[in-house]
Structure 1
Amino acid sequence: MDDQAYVFVTGNKAETHLPAGVTVQVKVKTNSRLTQKVALKDRTGEVDLEFTGTGEQNTIIGDKAITPGQNSLLTAVFEYADADGVFKPSKLNFGGPYDIGNYHLLVVVAENGDDTDYNDTILEFSWHTR
Structure 2
Amino acid sequence: MTYVQVDKQADNEIAKIGLPNNVSVSGTITAHSSFTQKVTLFTDSQELYVFEGRGERVLIGSLQNQFDSPFQVKVEHQEGDKWLGSSLRTGGPYSIGSSNFLIVVAESGDDSDYNDIVVQFSWKS
Question: Which TM-score applies when normalising by structure 2?
Answer: 0.91
Aligned length in residues: 121
CA distance in 2, matches of 1:15, 1:127: 18
Partner of residue 28, structure 2 = 27
Aligned-residue Cα RMSD (Å) equals 1.2
- Counterpart of 2:104, as a letter, is V
Distance between the aligned counterparts of 2:2 and 2:42, measured in 1?
16
Partner of 1:7: 4
List aligned pairs for 1:43-58, cutoff 5 A: 43=44, 45=46, 48-56=48-56, 58=57
- Distance in 1, matches of 2:81 and 2:55, equals 16
How big is the shift at 1:44? 5.7
Q: Which amino acid aligns with 1:118?
A: Y
Structure 1 residue 27 displacement after superposition: 0.9
Report the counterpart of residue 95 of structure 1 in structure 2.
Answer: 91
Which segments of 5 or more consecutive residues in structure 1 lack a partner in the other structure?
A: none
Q: Which residue of 2 aligns with 1:78?
A: 75
1:62 aligns with 2:61: yes
Aligned equivalents of 1:29, 1:15: Cα separation in 2: 19
Q: Please give the alpha-carbon distance, in whole angstroms, between the structure 2 residues aligned to 1:18 and 1:66.
A: 11
Say whether the 8 Å CA contact 1:43–1:73 is kept in structure 2: no
For residues 50 and 92 of structure 2, the distance between their equivalents in structure 1, rounded to whole angstroms, comes to: 23
2:38 counterpart of 1:41: no
Which amino acid is 2:60 matched to? Answer: I
CA distance in 1, matches of 2:45, 2:66: 13
CA distance in 1, matches of 2:26, 2:43: 15
Kindly indicate which of the two structures has a greater share of residues assigned to strand. Answer: 2
Per-residue deviation, 1:68: 1.3
Q: Please list every run of 5 or more consecutive structure 2 residues that lacks an aligned counterpart in the other structure.
A: none
* TM-superposed deviation, 1:43: 4.1
Q: How much does 1:86 deviate? A: 1.1
The TM-score with structure 1 as length reference comes to 0.88
- What's the offset of the Cα at 1:8? 1.1
